Structure 1
Amino acid sequence: MKNSTMERNNWHANLVQNLPLGLFRITFGPIERLLKANEAAAGIFGFESVEELIRAPLRTLFLDLKQRRKFLRKLISQGELIREQLKLKKKDGSQFWGAVSARVIRDIPGEVKYIDGIIEDITSQKQIEEALRISEERFRNIADEVDDWVWEIGSNLVIRYSNTRVNDILGYTPKEVVGRNLVDFLAPEEQNRIEGQKDYLLKEVIFASQQTCMVRKDGRIIITESSGVPIFRRDRSFVGFQGLTRDISEQVKTKEEQELRRQQLIQADKMISLGILVSGVAHEINNPNQFIMVNAPMLKRAWENITPIIDRYYEENGDFVVSGLSYGEMRGRFLELFSGICDGAQRIKLIVKNLKDYAREGNSGILQEININDIIKSSLLMVSNMLKNSTNNLRIELAQNLPLVKGNFQRLEQVLINLLQNACQALPNPANGVTITTSFDEKKNCVLVKIKDEGVGIEANQMEYIFDPFFTTKRDYGGTGLGLSISTGIIEEHGGKMQFSSKPGKGTTVSIILPALAPPQCPAPPADIDPNE
């Protein structure tokens, strides 16, 4: 029994002396002193032996005596402390950081008898922590200096870090975004897309220049561009992404405007080429048409002069055949045929003139006083063939005595031709109609033009985009999406506005509102025109 107890005591003594952690026991009271310690404790404080450590005054082992008193009060109050970090001092005066775990040992009456504890030198750990803190601080300073939003997200898309630039881009502070899911800041359509592509997004691959629509704190939607790299633990398990995001809304807008200008230049170049082509074609058409216009009236007069002679022959000799028909049947139609030839030649002349005027390169300055009815008549003539093929119900109601408007005839004609073409293309069959009306609003002193079609209409979710450059529902039919965008710009240049109302399956009404000049002082001629001309 005695041998067993000795062996156990020896084992405990060897364990205490050979532990890499410092063990100690100190008294507590008026005179505090070190009662026991192991070799590791002596080594931590820089003493050559345990005896030398025990002889040293306890207060000399603390760098900060205030910290020592605070530590002891806390220990007595709580009874036990775990890894309390203290600034301590070695024998040679050099300081180090120690992690102290201690427990109060009390006697039967409850008085503090002594304090047992463990001490570990954590100076290296503190140095690493300080280096890490400095590194993180340096990273934050650098991150806050860049113009982009620097972020880190976890594998669950929750934001774990954000620099201050998030305020410039989204209007939030870093505290407001950290801990929230990245999806919360995406536009609704982007959220739906992300939900369907989460597995793809978390494939742990580098991504660059990904464009996304995000919602700012004030509700405004912006276009952003993001790049990121995956981050891993040492065991190669995926943690999340680090990356940056920038607001490219202005760049996208500028690019779209440049593309619009490019398309407008292309269109302008086409119009110039068309003008050159039309001039050449007009010359080729006008020469033979001029021959018809000069000679047809002459033939008509000649026919009128010889008609009495032929009539006398008809009365004396009876009926005879002319061009396969009897003279009696043909006689009344000759003048009608001659009039038709003359009218047709005049119509050819007018069409060629309008084509040349429409395609002619001119000054876009607003210089002319124009009757809007004249522009409508010219536009109808230009698209007459398309209207005839598209609808059997063309209604034209042009108000008489309209005030003039100030503008550019060619550019306003361009708008009306575009709207008439759109109306024709919207009709599902010729039974559906198109109505064109003009009127004058005396209270607002403006001229109104309405083009109403009984076509397929425009879906509600597309209405907000119809004026956007390059938006078109007729891409398969050669539409560029520039017609309404350009037309809106032209009307606004004239101080007016264009309004749309539409019901799917019912049709669309386009209203053009232009400021009127002073009302006319005398009645204008009737504005009725024949839609079948």
Structure 2
Amino acid sequence: MHTIDHGTKELRKIFDPKAVLEPLRQENAQLRHIFEFLPDAAFVIDEHKRVTHWNKAAESMTGVKKESLLGTRDYSLAFYKTHRPILVDMLDLDDEVIRREYDYVNRVGVTINAETFVPHFNNGNGAYIWIAAAALYAPDGKPAGAIEVVRDVSDRRLAENRLRISEERFHQLANNVKDVFRLFDLEWDTLLFVSPAYRQVWGRPPEKAGNTLAARSDHILEEDKAIEETAFTAVCRGEKPSAIVEFRIRRPDLTVRWIRTEYFAVTNEKNIVHRIAAVSTDITPFKEAAAREHAHQQQLIQADKMASLGVLVAGVAHEINNPTNYITLSTPLLRKAWETIMPIVEERFTDLDTPCMGTNTYTEFAGTMDYLLRSIEDGASRIKRIVTDLKEYARLDNSKTDEEVDVNKIVESAVNLMGSHIKKQTKSFSLSLSDIPAPCKGNFQRLEQVMINLIQNACDALTTNEQPIHVSTTVSDKTVDVVVHDEGKGIPKDLISKVQDPFFTTKRDSGGTGLGLSVTAGIIQEHGGTIDIESKTGFGSTVTVKIPRSLK
């Protein structure tokens, strides 16, 4: 009987509802506690989409207490300030539909993950949130609702955006600047990055930049490799935080370019140099400009010397001109006097072979006297010509160069003035003037002097009178061109660049002063024009003058 009673008590204990449900209640309470204090906002809805759970993190994120939401369908209002389907409502929809409302949608098993931006979160500054939603089922497999977990990922998204923006800016910078950016890894002895500008500067595609540290110097000129290596090594060893070096490279087309490179040390968390950044600039134009500037400075120095010389020349020319005038004026009087006394002398010395002037006979003396007078006249003329050229070179010309003149008439006038001389020098002279007027702004006399000088030079270049000279004018849209061509002896190639220099002449023995072409070039420059000389020894020369055309 006792055994039966004991068994009955045990059966009652087993089937006692309190004994069976209490552990379940405790487990449920524990789960509720865990849910309540999850760090992420979370809520649960039943199969009728009524809120059954709303944890503290959800209250904190939305500012809505659970008491006002439990049993309602206003969960979307709490998050988005409007009634709308949210992720927990879209579990049965296609992902493409969900992506219309959310970013980064993906499924992991029965869970859907997504992200979106909520403008009114974070005191109106907005917040990026990550959402995970999954369906809940009863033990019998019937739908029992769903759960959604929400996490503020603004910090992560902002960091990602900053990184993305930084990368975009870096690539925009690297892809658009003319400088070449390279990044070397010392530990792995490799080139990590080279910007597209490498193609423009090195003349090679970036993929041909080489993969090792040593390959960076493959195209550097041999004589510049040592200085580049010194700078690069100093930064690699941490001796300097950066170093600037200039060197030359040879491109595939064999042209040489000057490169200015600055190497920067990149250190790791242990402050050890583990990478080298290099920024390279093509400074060839600056080098060329510097060379031109140096040449220009030398020209200015030379011009200053020539200006001083011009002042001196002007004074000397004046001093020489005065006594030369006396000689020029007196020589005709001497000749006239000699011609007057010649008959008297002839009567005195009836025997023309009798010595009358020392050991000279009258016949010898008379011939010598005539030669002496001609020598004096020729010498005076030569001095006068030299003085005229010197004065022309030294003088500051204030004549106007804005008159409307016709180059055809100027050339024609110069040819007329030089007509006698031209006939003596050549049997073959031709003049071809443009059919239309050749107007320009300038000074008639100054331009006429240019044409006379050029024709004179062409005549002087002839070695026989069989060699021709041809003068022509043409009119283009912007310039009036005058071409003087001769088939004389020509100018050696190494002297062409010097023939316009003051006092340089190839006719020193015949009285050339070296000022003709210099003065000519100066006049053309005053008129805004150019002068070009082409010549070949033994084949003659062609001088082309271009003067801006008047377009009134």
Q: TM-score, normalised by structure 2?
A: 0.43
- Which one has the largest radius of gyration? 2
Q: Which has the higher contact order (CA 8 A, sep 6+)?
A: 1
Report the TM-score when normalising by structure 1: 0.45
